[in-house]
Amino acid sequence: MADKFYITTPIYYVNARPHVGHAYTTLVCDAMARRKRMLGVDTFFLTGTDEHGQKIERSAADAGVTPRELTDRVSGEFRALWDRMKISYDDYIRTTEARHARGVQEMFRRIRDNGFIYKGSYTGQYCVYDELYVDAAGAGALCPECGRPTETVSEENYFFKLSAFEDKLLRLYTEQADFIRPETRRNEVITFVRSGLRDLSISRSSISWGIPVPDDPQHVIYVWLDALSNYCTALGFGSPEPKDQQRFARYWPADVHMIGKEIVRFHCVYWPAFLMAAKLPLPRSIIAHGWLLFEESKMSKSRGNIVHPQTVLDVLGNDALRYFLLREVVFGQDGGFSFDALVQRYNSDLANDLGNLASRTLTMIARYFRGEVPYPSSAATRTPADEAIARTAQETITAFGRLWDDYQFSRALEAAWGLVAAVNKYLVENSPWAVAEKGDDESRARLATILYTSAEALRVVTALVHPAIPEATARIWTQLGLGEIAQFRLSALQWGQLQLGTKLGPVEGVFPRADKSVIERMLEMERERSKPAAPPADTQAGQPATQAAVGLAPAAPAPTATATTESRISIDDFAKVEMRVGQIKVAEKVKGADKLLRLEVDIGTEVRQVVAGIAEAYAPETLIGRKVVVVVNLQARKLRGVESNGMIVAASVGEKGTPVLAGFLEDVPVGAKLK
């Protein structure tokens, strides 16, 4: 087993207040860190806030405060929330700290001294929302990541020779197969890198809210180079202090960078390239999880559909939020958040299943054995039902570890609850309350065995799920008379360790049942907490674009007026056109055709090859993963010898009919029908 474990969350932007999406990433990391510590692994868990860049500078200006005031306030809010959620972080880095600036400058210097930085001039599009340079798009073009309008940047910059790392990165993804997980993300990254990497601008001279470039303070360092370096600077990278250097040497490279799927490119392409250029070891793995959706779209400030974790904490508590998210969301995939589902899970799994197991087992030991764990009867008199629980518990220990280590948190918890259900059934079938009525010696021995078996199974489950629901399990552990759960070594866990005669602590319920009114209460609290949802200022609204199609034919000229009444079609005519949401998996130029791209588009039921006349407006690599509208019931045609099975819908803008792909502001499932 590795002797150290270093895990990080993304550092969160301070332009928005924390929501359940941020809490999800952080609590997953916290749960992983807790299990590692329980296994005796020297663990370092880092989180923090990302405070520089144009986006933050503007948010502060909009709020009428200085960037420093904004960052102090919001960073403090994130930290207070993590403290309330008992997040066991070992350090909290802020990119506005001096220790960070020093480390980032050292990173820049190393990359420069190794010959990977040069000065050049950049004119192109920049998405302030994603803090991303966007390739191959003209003035006013929309960001391929978020769909917001980009801004033209024209300045002298420092450039990073990203193009020099294409082969090295591809080799990394092949040789270190679990560098990027899950597999779908890995494939996207490989396709992106294979389609060619351009050098990257890594400084800005038109903004000042950032870390100055060493020896050239007119420039500030690109916010993503600044932000990514936090994973090193927090450990002490760039510090002259021996103790910082030792910490860096001890924990770097990171074992897990946990991120949401939208920042994969920064972590899996830019970050390893920066590290290679600085001649630093690479992280062991980057794990990208899916999004939490609320009312079916990605929970985010700009959509105004966030849930504040505080609401759930106020009403149902920390463990309820943690358990729900770890159990309900299939890790790696998008998952919906709803108050109904939260309360249902809480009541069925926590209040009913685990809560009942704990309270009846402990109450009966208190009542029938004066609060001391009883002696089970000799092996010869144990029943197959007793043995089955022991076996299930032992199997659950193994299965839980295997699933958890494979990031299948939901299935690991399901396995643990399988044991809970088995013991609850065992209790019903063996009715210790009825056995207790009898009072003869044999019945007394039987009662002891049943209650020992349930208490031991309860101990096993409690230890296993402590990283997921730390507070209630700590209380159950104390009630079992076992002291501090954090001191327990999970690596030693096996059936039969509960010592006979262990004196129980005071018994109390851990999960009071929630009635239906709590849903309304939480919704009301959310209404109070959320400001009225104004449409985001930076969406595409008002684009002077008319719908046209690009696909089989080059972009059609933009119509000058909408159809007259006479030429309108019936709804039945329209219904003949079948349009679906597709996701681009592969994009490449068609040889010998300047305007055409060959796309492979997942339309839910199959992956289609479509040839689209959008090559002059979109670089292929910017399209991977993008969701588009596909006309799926057109007859197949060949263009330049390549078969096209459908058409991608786009607006045709301006005199030249520049195509702008139709898309969605909300996240929509692949295959969804348009009507």
Q: Which is closer to ligand ME8, CB of 21 or CB of 147?
A: 21
Residue 287's H or E segment, with its range, is strand 286-289
- CA of residue 97 relative to chain centroid, distance: 26
Q: Between 383 and 530, whose beta carbon lies closer to ligand ME8? A: 530
Measure the CA–CA gap between 507 and 366, rounded to whole angstroms: 8
- Distance between CA atoms of 211 and 525, rounded to whole angstroms? 39
621 in Cβ contact with 569 (< 8 Å): no
Q: How far is the CB of 50 from ligand ME8 (least distance, A)?
A: 3
Q: Which is nearer to ligand ME8, 224 or 511 (CB)?
A: 224
- Report the residue number whose CB is nearest to ligand ME8: 21
Nearer Cβ to ligand ME8 (12/192): 12
The nearest distance, CB 394 to ligand ME8, in angstroms, is: 35
C-alpha distance from residue 179 to each of 257, 260, 475 (Å): 10, 15, 38
Pairing of strands 627-631, 579-589: antiparallel
Would you say 141 or 263 has its CB closer to ligand ME8?
263
Q: Is the alpha carbon torsion for 147, 148, 151, 156 positive or negative?
A: negative
Distances (CA, A) of 606 to 182, 296, 600, 601, 602: 21, 23, 10, 8, 6
Shortest separation between residue 131's beta carbon and ligand ME8, angstroms: 8
Give me the least distance between CB of 17 and ligand ME8, in Å please.
Answer: 10
Q: Measured from the CB atom, is 274 or 495 closer to ligand ME8? A: 274
Q: Which is nearer to ligand ME8, 293 or 415 (CB)?
A: 293
568, two tokens: 């309108």
* Amino acid found at 76: G
Please state, as a whole number, how many other Cβ atoms lie within 10 Å of the Cβ of residue 404. 22
Interface contacts to ligand ME8, rule CB under 6 A: 10-13, 21-22, 24-25, 50, 227-228, 230, 259-260, 262-263, 291-292, 298-300
Kindly report the number of other CB atoms within 10 A of residue 135's CB atom: 15
Of 16 and 525, nearer to ligand ME8 (C-beta) is: 16
Min dist CB 538 to ligand ME8, Å, is 14
CB of 259 to ligand ME8, least distance (A): 5
Is the backbone of residue 508 left (phi > 0), alpha (psi -120 to 50) or beta?
beta
The least distance separating ligand ME8 from the CB of residue 582, rounded to whole angstroms, comes to: 22
Tell me how far, at minimum, the Cβ of 404 lies from ligand ME8, in Å.
19
Q: How far is CA 333 from CA 83, 192, 288, 292, 628, in A?
A: 27, 21, 9, 9, 20
